[in-house]
């Protein structure tokens, strides 16, 4: 019986953390008239300029997952050894439209050292990662496309 209770507790913990992560990590979605490969190239270059290292980048599906490590500590916890800002970005091309959808999720996690291994805990997105997401959006999804070309950022 205790295994069943433990399994239910673990499952509810995962759902709770997932629900909290959604409210802690804001997502911005912008629809623009642009050429998707150019927008994705802009995302990669801008994120790199801001200090993010691509931990997973899928050019074929235009998905970017970047991470920037920090020694900053968000709260007093002796097991916290650092933090990381993450940007999860997707450039989508809806089938019924000539536009591109730029979806940016800004995340912050604290890096903890447990007895046997390191693990990450979700935190509210830091002001710095929120600012970085806004910079990428402003540069790669301008309000009006530049004159000439195919609407490249």
For residue 45, being part of any structural domain is answered with yes
For residue 16, being part of any structural domain is answered with no
For residue 133, being part of any structural domain is answered with yes
Distance CA 35, CA 142 (A): 12
- β-strand pairing of 63-70 with 53-58: antiparallel
For residue 153, being part of any structural domain is answered with no
Q: How far is CA 87 from the centre of its chain?
A: 3
Distance CA 56, CA 91 (A): 14
User: What is the residue range of 63's domain?
Assistant: 26-140
- CATH assignment of the domain containing 97: 3.30.530.50
pTM reported for the whole predicted model: 0.72
For residue 118, being part of any structural domain is answered with yes
For residue 46, being part of any structural domain is answered with yes
Give me the numbers of helices (H) and strands (E) for the chain, helices first please: 3, 6
pLDDT at residue 71 in the model? 64
State yes or no: pLDDT of 7 exceeds 50: no
Report residue 104 as tokens: 């940016």
pLDDT at residue 43 in the model? 96
For residue 74, being part of any structural domain is answered with yes
Helix (H) or strand (E) holding 138: helix 127-140
Percent over 90 (pLDDT), the chain: 41
13 or 31, higher pLDDT: 31
Number of structural domains (the chain) is 1
For residue 85, being part of any structural domain is answered with yes
Could you report the per-residue pLDDT of 34-84, keeping only the tens digit for each?
Answer: 999 999 999 999 999 999 999 777 777 899 999 998 766 555 566 677 888
149 DSSP 8-state letter: T
């Amino acid at each position: 019986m205790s295994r069943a209770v433990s399994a239910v507790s673990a499952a509810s913990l995962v759902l709770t953390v997932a629900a909290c992560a959604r409210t802690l990590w804001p997502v911005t979605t912008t629809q623009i008239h642009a050429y998707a490969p150019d927008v994705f190239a802009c995302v990669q270059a801008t994120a790199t300029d801001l200090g993010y290292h691509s931990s997973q980048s899928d050019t074929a599906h235009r998905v970017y997952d970047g991470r920037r490590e920090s020694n900053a500590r968000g709260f007093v916890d002796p097991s916290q050894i650092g933090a990381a800002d993450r940007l999860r970005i997707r450039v989508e091309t809806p089938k019924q439209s000539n536009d591109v959808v730029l979806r940016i999720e800004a995340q912050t996690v604290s890096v903890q050292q447990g007895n046997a291994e390191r693990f990450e805990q979700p935190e509210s997105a830091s002001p710095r990662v929120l600012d970085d997401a806004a910079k990428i959006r402003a540069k790669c999804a301008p309000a009006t496309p530049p004159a000439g070309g195919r609407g490249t950022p």
